[in-house]
Amino acid sequence: MQTVNIICMKWGTKYHANYVNTLFSMVKRHLTLPFRFICLTDDSRHLRPEIEHFPIPKLDIPNGPERGWDKLVTFSAPLYDLHGQALFLDLDVVIIDNIDCFFEHDAEFPIIKDWVKKDVTGNSSVYRFTIGKHPEILENFRSNHQTIRQQVRNEQEYLSQFVANTGHLSYWPETWCKSFKYNCIHKGLNAWFKVPKKPQDCKIVVFHGNPNPPDAIFGKSGKWYRKVLPTPWVADHWQ
């Protein structure tokens, strides 16, 4: 059976190594396929020994944009010694069920359909691609980054639009990836009395913005206007 790749990225000080280690643990529990777990990072201290780590490839752009655009270097060709199918995962996702299906799903470039955007925009917390097969994504950004950054807000808008224009963009089945913010936290006054719900038939819960998984466990929303009760099911999986 061919080995698959799980890729994540950690830069700066926003996320401690524990986020990477926890993600590895969740993948190990919920992926039965043989896999390599790779972290592209500027600081490999305190990572578990089972985690492969490499420096984040350079965007090679003068006065480069904010670091979120660094995700585009996953499309470098070559990307170290990596080959085959890769599933990119943000560090602040919570895996709650088996994820073999993300590699078995028949699609060229699947991504999460953004929960708010009405256009082609995907959420790049979870996307799959063939390593080295899409270097034009990065090459086009390097050549046209100033114009691109005037047209779109972030890398996931650019990535979605570029891949959609090639005809290869598709979306994961709707139930597989859910937003903690939009799909789990109850609306209005219910948020004060009901624990955020665990989504049915979901594989990965995405924590974008606030709260992050550790805060959700303790009931800290990160926003004064958003109430989040302590959420035990997140604690059950975030380990």
| Of residues 148, 146, 135, 226, the one with CA closest to residue 180 | 226
pTM for the model stands at 0.96
**What is the rounded distance in angstroms from the CA atom of residue 235 to the CA atom of residue 12?**
25
- How does pLDDT run along the chain (239 residues), one tens digit per residue? 799 999 999 999 989 999 999 999 999 999 999 999 999 999 999 999 999 999 999 998 877 677 789 999 999 999 999 999 999 999 999 999 999 999 999 999 999 999 999 999 999 999 999 999 999 999 999 999 999 999 999 999 999 999 999 999 999 999 999 999 999 999 999 999 999 999 999 999 999 989 999 999 999 987 777 899 999 999 999 99
| CA count, 13 A, side-chain hemisphere, 98 | 6
Contact 31, 25 (CB under 8 A): no
Domain ranges across the chain: 4-171, 177-237
The pLDDT of residue 229 is 96
The pLDDT of residue 67 is 77
φ/ψ (deg, to 5) at 189:
-65, -20
**What is the rounded distance in angstroms from the CA atom of residue 10 to the CA atom of residue 188?**
34
Q: What is the dotted CATH code of the domain comprising 4-171?
A: 3.90.550.10
Question: Is residue 188 exposed (0-12), middle (13-18) or buried (19+ Cβ within 10 Å)?
Answer: exposed
